[in-house]
Structure 1
Amino acid sequence: MKFRFPVVIIDEDFRSENASGLGIRALADAIEAEGMEVLGVTSYGDLASFAQQQSRASVFILSIDDEEFSSPAAADKAIAELRAFVSEIRLRNSEIPIFLHGETRTSRHIPNDVLRELHGFIHMYEDTPEFIARSVVREAKAYLDSLPPPFFRALTHYASDGSYSWHCPGHSGGVAFLKSPVGQMFHQFFGENMLRADVCNAVEELGQLLDHTGPVAASERNAARIFNCDHLYFVTNGTSTSNKIVWHSTVAPGDIVIVDRNCHKSILHAIMMTGAIPVFLMPTRNHYGIIGPIPKSEFAWENIQKKIAAHPFAKDSQGKPRVLTITQSTYDGVLYNVEAIKAELDGKIDTLHFDEAWLPHAAFHDFYGDYHAIGEDRPRCQQSMVFSTQSTHKLLAGLSQASQILVQDAENNKLDRDVFNEAYLMHTSTSPQYSIIASCDVAAAMMEAPGGTALVEESISEALDFRRAMRKVGEEWAGEANGHWWFKVWGPDDLSEEGIEERDAWMLKAGERWHGFGDLAEGFNMLDPIKATIITPGLDVDGEFAERGIPAAIVTKYLAEHGVIVEKCGLYSFFIMFTIGITKGRWNTMVTELQQFKDDYDKNQPLWRVLPEFVAKNPRYERVGLRDLCKEIHAVYRAKDVARLTTEMYLSDMVPAMRPADAFAKMAHREIERVAIDQLEGRITSVLLTPYPPGIPLLIPGERFNATIVQYLQFAREFNERFPGFETDIHGLVKEVGEDGKSRYFVDCVR
């Protein structure tokens, strides 16, 4: 299969009619005659930007002309430019071939630190262009052949070999789509290669995901090496499934499990599926609705034992807890010091599981230190096995649903791969999507040093520049009269150039008002700077409402209609991530769109003008101004004191009345009744109740409704009726529309 990676020639005479120009173009023609594309440019331009093109090139050929050495000063300048460019390339790519070419200059004119990075030195008039071209093309092909990791290499070879296949899927490499007009559209949209690569697990030459053989196994081993773990498994249906695999490999009915209350719903599903008895560790929260860390004291073994002893279903259980699951990187980027947790709980809990769906990048930059689960030269536990589940598709370059499970053996407790694979088989499709496997393979290969480090470094740098840009805009508005306002990015107050790149600047320190999480333990928590939560005006971290406010839901609807889609929206905050795919253009567009929102808000532009798609679906807002709508919704939030209500409901006493699996079984057997909101207090839910935002389950099956939670549901009901289009989405809340056209809400409870 032919890939497009041109040979890049950088020579100021590339387009000149002098002897140098004729010579370099003759070389370019000879290279093209060998079947390689050539891209010729006359200068480096911006070094960092040009160096990023290493991902698109097969070779760089750099000119050292006699004119550049016409004087000592000119020579120094030429060498400085050359050194800077080569350094920028090698920061990202240690393997791509780099050649120098000149007329009379030799290696004695080039410093050793540059020479050692080269693959050859071309003298234009000593060999024929054709001979030099063959040498360049040989190096280019060797480099390109080294790039594909094992599974992706095998898949590309299979897709391009022209074999007829008699196995599933039924579209037979895309041929079936060509027999229908709409199928033709589908084929043209996705392309031949994707469809030829969509194959069945019967293809022996590609190996088996289910039993980890062949190129699949080779790629998993390669990824394990890159991610510095003992075992690594690709998962093609997301980290929700990865979490369930980990749990089913270690948890059985009646086992005690220690769980972060701020866990993904897949962990709660695993609790119901395994029949485990959960004992929860409670995280902090601030009044922005941002979930903070579990205090370090909650991890103390004596405190966990007290929680177990006080739990109605756990207190009589025998044996130590089977698993601890912690959300390692909360949605907003709060991290734990993993070594501190390991030191406290090694051997006391069988398995330490870190749900790192939002943190796969951390292993590739020293900035993150011990604030991720498994890394190079990190000490092992003596007894407890460490698992990390990571969403390759969230922060790295995987396709949607690409995930992986990382395992670090303990000194005295090694993974039994056969036993583990029984749980793996329980949750893995027998028809996995091979493009997702390939993306897991490639995403890991992309993080190989030095490229992976450079990608994460770039993400951090772009995130810091965005924060500084937002702060600069705010400072300029603060100098204006009439109380001008602006958005802020949640994080440390000090965004000075000095020190902001250091880890200590991002530590959550005790009592600092910016985070609002109280007296946190020293060195235990850090904020990941690439997670940026933008705070809108109207609410402070203490839960106090201002006279004027701008609910975040209005801002995000505005952004969406202007081509900017955000990840998560709260009452007065919304969230964006600086993944390795973020560009300067993207975050600068965010800044300019927020400026545009501010301008339209200050002018109270009519919604039909600034939110035409929204108004078309909700015509009642047609005559409303943008500022007027913000004022109206803010007034309701303020009157109901919603910030404190939502904080208190998550911190309220949630009493377990049944084991989660037993309560869920009541639903499966239809031994439930649909209870109206006003009658819920004291009832036992049989379903997960999950408000969005933040998408964290509020109640799990088997727990009782309390007055605070009922009050929140009553607020949501009233708000949804008053502000259609801005409805609070609560999974588990059943909506029924009566004959009178009014919506009524219910929850399925144990009968």
Structure 2
Amino acid sequence: MKFRFPIVIIDEDFRSENASGLGIRALAEAIEQEGMEVLGVTSYGDLSSFAQQQSRASGFILSIDDEEFHSDEAAEHAVKQLRAFVEEIRWRNPDIPLFIYGETRTSRHLPNDILKELHGFIHMFEDTPEFVARYIIREAKTYLDTLAPPFFRALLNYAQDGSYSWHCPGHSGGVAFLKSPVGQMFHQFFGENMLRSDVCNAVEELGQLLDHTGPVAASERNAARIFNSDHCFFVTNGTSTSNKMVWHATVAPGDIVVVDRNCHKSILHSIIMTGAIPVFLMPTRNHYGIIGPIPKEEFEPENIRKKIEANPFAKDVKTKPRILTITQSTYDGVLYNVEMIKDTLGDTIDTLHFDEAWLPHATFHDFYQNMHAIGRDRPRPKDPLVFSTQSTHKMLAGLSQASQILVQESETRSLDRYRFNEAYLMHTSTSPQYAIIASCDIAAAMMEPPGGTALVEESIFESLDFRRAMRKVDEEYGDSWWFKVWGPDELADEGMGNRADWLLKANERWHGFGNLAEGFNLLDPIKATIITPGLDVDGDFDDSGIPAAIVTKYLAEHGVIVEKTGLYSFFIMFTIGITKGRWNTLVTALQQFKDDYDKNQPLWRVLPEFVAAHPRYERIGLRDLCQQIHDVYKAHDIARLTTEMYTSNMVPAMKPTDAYAKMAHREIERVPLDELEGRITAILLTPYPPGIPLLIPGERFNKTIVQYLQFAREFNERFPGLKTDIHGLVEEEVDGRTAYFVDCVML
């Protein structure tokens, strides 16, 4: 299979007509005659940007011609530039071949720190260009042959060998698509390689995901090594499925489980499916709607015991909790010091599970030391097994649904792989998508240090440069409004600054989470929550405001799609795929929004797609619509209401699994919204944003939650197209109007 990895030549004489230029072009031609592509440039340019070419190259040839050493000063500059370039390359890639060439200069003219990084030293005109070309190509091909990790290499070989497919899937390597015009379109869009590599588990040479054998197992072992864990299991159904696998391997009906109240809904699904009795740890929240950390004292064993004793279904269970599941990190990037959690809990909980869907990058950089579940040189807990479930597709370079489960064994317990695999088989597909498996394999290989460390560090630097750019814009606008990026007040002028700056300290106003324990929480800088004007962290509304839903709708129509939208905030992530161009485009798009808002441009001009779908807004200005929504939010004191509904006390009336069973048996009533107070829900009630379940099956509606639902009904009627989305609400037409219901346990 032909891959494009050119050999890059950096020589200021590459296009010159002197002897040096003629010589290097002769070498380039000889390399091309051997079938390798050559890219020739005349200077290093911006070192850091150019060094990123290492991901596209199979080798570098660097000049130290006489012209570059014509004086002591020139020689010193040339060595300094060469050293900087080599350091930039090796920071990302320890293996790519580097060659030096010149006419008269030798290794005597270069310091050892450069020489030790080289694969060869070429003297012009001592050998034929053809011989030198073959020498360089040999090293380049050896390097390329080492790149593919185990499963991806096996998949490449399978796709290349031309075997006829008699197994499923039925498109038979893409051939079925060629028999239909619309299938031809599909084939041309996705391409031959993707379709030839879409195979079933009957292909023995690729190994088995279901029993973790062959190249699949080799890749999982390789990923476990890279991620510093004892075991790794690839999952092709997303981290929702990874969570369920961990739970079904650990939890049985009647077990007590300790869970982050603001966990992902897949954890609540796991509670329902396993028949567990949940005891919840309550996170803090601020009035921006940002979820904060669970206070450290909530993890104290005596406080957990008090919660168990207060739960009518858990108080008589004598065994210790089977699992603790914590969301690490929160949506907005708040992290926990895992070692402090382990020390606090001791051996009072059987298994520790950290849902790190948004944190697979942390193990590769010292900035996150102790702020993730499993890492290099981390102590093993005495008794509990530690599980980390990670979405490689969210923060790393995995395809959608690519996920993995990492395991750290304790001092006294090892993972029983066969028993664990029974839970794995319960939830995985017997027809996994092999491209997703390959992306898990590649995502891990990409993070092999030092390259993975460099990728994470670049993400951190880009996020800090974005924050600095936003502050610079704010300073220039002076008294005029601008957006804020949520985070510490102090920000280093250059570089990464001090890690301690990102620790959340007690009673700091910027975060609004109150009296936090020292050193317990860290904000991940690559998670950026942008605050729009109109609301402060205390929940007080200004006279005017800009609801975030309008900003993100504007951005979407201008080609910028964000991750999550709150009342007066929206969220972006600086994954390893984010570039300067992307975040600078966001800054300019926000500038355009400000200009259009200040001019009160008509919506038909600035939001044409939105107005086409909802013509009632055609004559309204952008600022006018923002003000209308802001006034409604302020009148309902919505910031405090949405905080209180999540922090209000929930006393379970039924076990979650029993309440859900009522729905499965159709022993439910579809209760009108205004009659919900005191009723027991049979479903998950989940407002978006933030996508955190508000009620789980078996809990009662209280007055605060009903008030929020009544607000959502009024808002949806008044502002069509800006609907508050709440999963679990049933919408039906009654007398020409939309009425809302929730399925509750039958009285």
Write out per-residue CA displacement over residues 608-653 of structure 1, whole angstroms, 9 at most, x where no aligned residue. Answer: 0000000000100000000000010000000000000000000111
Corresponding residue for residue 744 of structure 2:
749
Whole-Å separation in 2 of the counterparts to 1:29 and 1:469:
45
1:672 correspondence with 2:668: yes
Q: CA deviation at 1:16?
A: 1.1
Q: Distance in 1 between matches of 2:269 and 2:346?
A: 26
Q: Distance in 2 between matches of 1:89 and 1:499?
A: 19
Mapped partners of 1:94, 1:372: distance in 2: 26
Q: Is the 8 A contact 1:197 1:434 kept in 2?
A: yes
Residue 733 of structure 2 is matched in structure 1 by: 737
Distance 1:151 1:501 in 2: 39
- 1:544 maps to what in 2? 540
Q: Which residue of 1 aligns with 2:98?
A: 98
Kindly indicate whether residue 586 of structure 2 is the aligned counterpart of residue 607 of structure 1. Answer: no
Q: Does the residue aligned with 1:537 lie in a helix, a strand or coil?
A: coil
For 1:621 and 1:461, the matched residues in 2 are separated by: 41
Cα shift at 1:500: 5.2
Do 1:281 and 1:298's aligned partners in 2 also have CA atoms closer than 8 Å? Answer: yes
Structure 1 residue 318 displacement after superposition: 2.1
Q: Alpha-carbon deviation of 1:67?
A: 1.2
Given the alignment of the two structures, is residue 350 of structure 1 paired with residue 365 of structure 2, yes or no?
no
Quote the residue 2:715 is aligned against.
719
**Equivalent residue, structure 2, for 1:558:** 554
TM-fit CA distance, 1:499: 8.3
Deviation at 1:496, TM superposition (A): 3.0
Aligned in 2, Cα 1:665/1:579: closer, same or farther, shift over 3 Å?
A: same
Letter paired with 1:750: V
Structure 1: how far apart are the matches of 2:499 and 2:243?
Answer: 29
In the alignment, is residue 619 of structure 1 matched against residue 584 of structure 2? Answer: no
Cα offset for 1:501?
2.7
Offset, 1:140:
0.3
Residue identity matched to 1:409 = E
> Post-superposition shift, 1:147?
0.3
Contact 2:223 2:232 in 1 (8 A): yes
Partner secondary structure for residue 232 of structure 2: strand
The answer to whether the 8 A contact 2:461-2:496 is kept is no
**Which SS does the other structure have where 2:55 is aligned?**
helix
Q: Are 1:643 and 2:636 counterparts?
A: no
Distance 1:710 1:54, change over 3 A: same
What is the CA distance between 1:347 and its match in structure 2?
A: 1.4
Q: What is the distance in 2 between the residues matched to 1:226 and 1:378? A: 14
Asked whether the equivalents of residues 491 and 497 of structure 2 are also in contact (C-alpha less than 8 Å), the reply is no
CA distance in 2, matches of 1:277, 1:402: 30
Partner Cα separation in structure 2 for residue 502 and residue 185 of structure 1: 52
Name the counterpart of 1:634.
630
Aligned residue for 1:315, secondary structure, equals coil
CA distance in 2, matches of 1:317, 1:636: 47
Alignment-mate amino acid for residue 232 of structure 2: L
- For the residues of structure 2 that align with 1:741 and 1:490, how far apart are their CA atoms? 43
User: Post-superposition shift, 1:18?
Assistant: 1.3
* Alpha-carbon contact 1:499-1:505 (below 8 Å) kept: no
Q: Matches of 2:349 and 2:46 in 1, distance apart?
A: 53
| Match among 500, 524, 530 for residue 528 of structure 1 | 524
Q: Does 1:494 align with 2:516?
A: no
1:686 match: 682
Q: Distance in 2 between matches of 1:313 and 1:662?
A: 12
Cα deviation, residue 321, structure 1: 0.4
User: Structure 1: which 5+ runs fail to align?
Assistant: none
- Residues 512-532 of structure 1, C-alpha deviation per residue, up to 9 Å, x if partnerless? 000000000000001000000
CA displacement, residues 182-205 of structure 1 (integer Å, 9 cap, x when unaligned): 000000000000000000100000
For 2:516, give the aligned amino acid: L
- The Cα shift of 1:103 comes to 0.4
Residue matched to 2:515: 519
Match for residue 580 of structure 2? 584
Describe the SS at the equivalent of 1:294.
Answer: coil
- After superposition, what is the alpha-carbon deviation per residue over 1:667-696, rounded to whole angstroms, capped at 9, x for unaligned? 000000000110000000000000001100
Matches of 2:33 and 2:122 in 1, distance apart?
18
1:406-464 deviation digits (Å, cap 9, x = unpaired): 00000101100000000000000000000000000000000001100000000000000
CA–CA separation in structure 1 for the residues paired with 2:269 and 2:234: 21
User: Relative to structure 1, is the Cα distance of residues 410 and 307 closer, same or farther in structure 2, using a 3 angstrom cutoff?
Assistant: same
Paired residue type of 1:424:
Y
TM-score (normalizing by structure 2): 0.99
Q: 1:156 to 1:336 in 2, by over 3 A?
A: same
Q: Aligned runs of 1:421-570 on 2, under 5 Å?
A: 421-478=421-478, 483-497=479-493, 501-570=497-566
> Partners of 2:494 and 2:429 in 1: how far apart?
50
Q: Does the 8 Å contact 1:551/1:634 carry over to 2?
A: yes
Task: Provide the rounded CA distance (Å) in 2 between the counterparts of 1:625 and 1:280.
Answer: 45
Match of 1:366 in 2: 366
For residues 502 and 338 of structure 1, the distance between their equivalents in structure 2, rounded to whole angstroms, comes to 20
Give the superposition deviation at 1:497.
Answer: 2.0
Q: Distance in 1 between matches of 2:47 and 2:621?
A: 47
Q: Report the AA paired with residue 607 of structure 2.
A: L
Letter in 1 for 2:586: M
Separation in 2, partners of 1:653, 1:674: 24
Aligned-residue CA RMSD (Å): 0.7
Task: Verify the 8 A CA contact 2:297 2:303 in the aligned structure 1.
Answer: yes
Q: Which residue of 1 aligns with 2:302?
A: 302
State the TM-score, normalizing by the size of structure 1: 0.99
Alignment check: 8 A CA contact 1:367 1:502 kept: no
Q: CA deviation at 1:498?
A: 6.5
- The answer for the alignment partner of 1:263 in structure 2 is 263
| Alpha-carbon distance in structure 2 between the residues aligned to 1:226 and 1:711 | 49
**Is the Cα–Cα contact under 8 Å of residues 468 and 493 in structure 2 kept in the other structure?**
no
Asked if structure 2 preserves the Cα contact closer than 8 Å seen for 1:178 and 1:184, the reply is yes
Instruction: Output one character per residue of 1:373-421: Cα deviation in whole Å (capped at 9) or x when no partner.
Output: 0000000001000000000000000000000000000010110000000
Task: Tell me how far apart the structure 1 counterparts of residues 660 and 140 of structure 2 sit (CA, whole Å).
Answer: 59
**Matched pairs, number:** 746
2:335–2:371 contact (8 Å) kept in structure 1: yes
